[in-house]
Amino acid sequence: MKQLIILAIFLAFTQKGLFRSCGETVEYSAVRVAQVHDGAPMNPVVAFFHKSDLALKGNVKRAGDDHFNKEGYLTESSHDTYLHTANYIKLTTGDVEYTYYKNEQGQIEKMTYNGSDDVEYFTYYKSGLLAGSHGVENGIPYRTTYTYDDLGRVTTWHYTYGDDPISKDTYHYETLEDNTLKITIESTNNPQPQVYTYKDGIMRSSSLYGETTHYSYIFDKHGNWTKQSVENGGVTKRVVTYY
């Protein structure tokens, strides 16, 4: 289960996946918006549940294979389905069913899958930012922790498995010309830093293992991209519709 949040971070890095409703909807949405925004595009999330997690703007109904309700919550993505209730969110992907339970603030406090006894727990700072997660896998405890700066941007990610400190990432931020945000990540598991640039919450370049890739976009009138071109790579077109 610990891989879920790591996967979420990776998807946020790559902007992969062009990737409910109840009385708690407004409160829960406010929590998520506080977590991920244009100035903090790499902040961790438990999972992608809301259009704001994907830097989508406006009253989006569909973006590529992702479908949203009028409150902005994901209901379907490719062949995955999402059921949103007042107390939990249920994600069904193939034969696996994940259930995310909410606390009184509407934040996800724990996750189970397929009725397993394994549970992953999530904790938060008073600000609403995700503080970390923990659980037990194969009898071995694991824990992920996060810290943030005064602007609410993640500054460290620390993962331990049992007594072993598996990895620690440190994030550095720099605002460039035309309000482009440069993010440099130093990792104990990677001798070379990773460097990304974002503008308006959308990744514009990535530098991995000494190789830099640039991304360009065509946007619609709402500011959502409908065409992504990868330098020396392919082109992705995305249909975005609205309520």
pLDDT digits (tens, 9 = 90+) for 160-169: 999 888 899 9
Using CA atoms, how far apart are residues 101 and 81, in angstroms rounded to an integer?
16
SS3 122: strand
**CATH classification at residue 158:** 2.40.160
Q: What mean pLDDT do residues 72-94 have?
A: 94
Q: pLDDT by residue (tens digit) across 218-235? A: 999 999 999 999 998 899
Q: What mean pLDDT do residues 97-101 have?
A: 95
Phi and psi at residue 5, to the nearest 5°: -70, -30
234 is in which domain, residue-wise? 3-242
pLDDT range class, residue 21, cuts 50, 70, 90:
very low
| Extended strands (E) in the chain | 60-63, 66-68, 74-77, 80-84, 88-93, 96-102, 108-113, 120-124, 130-137, 140-148, 154-161, 164-175, 181-187, 190-199, 202-208, 211-219, 225-230, 235-237, 240-242
pLDDT range class, residue 36, cuts 50, 70, 90:
low
CA gyration radius for the chain? 18
Percentage of residues in the chain having pLDDT higher than 70: 85
Q: Is the pLDDT of residue 115 over 80?
A: no
Q: Is the pLDDT of residue 19 over 80?
A: no
Count of the separate structural domains present in the chain: 1
- DSSP code, position 105: T
SS3 19: coil
Query: Nearest Cα to 80, choosing from 98, 62, 63?
Result: 98
Phi and psi at residue 53, to the nearest 5°: -65, -20
Please tell me the predicted confidence (pLDDT) of residue 194: 95
Collect all residues with Cβ–Cβ distance below 8 Å to 18 and sequence separation of at least 6: 54, 63, 64, 65, 66, 238
pTM for this model (two decimals): 0.82
pLDDT range class, residue 6, cuts 50, 70, 90:
very low
Q: Is the pLDDT of residue 24 over 60?
A: no
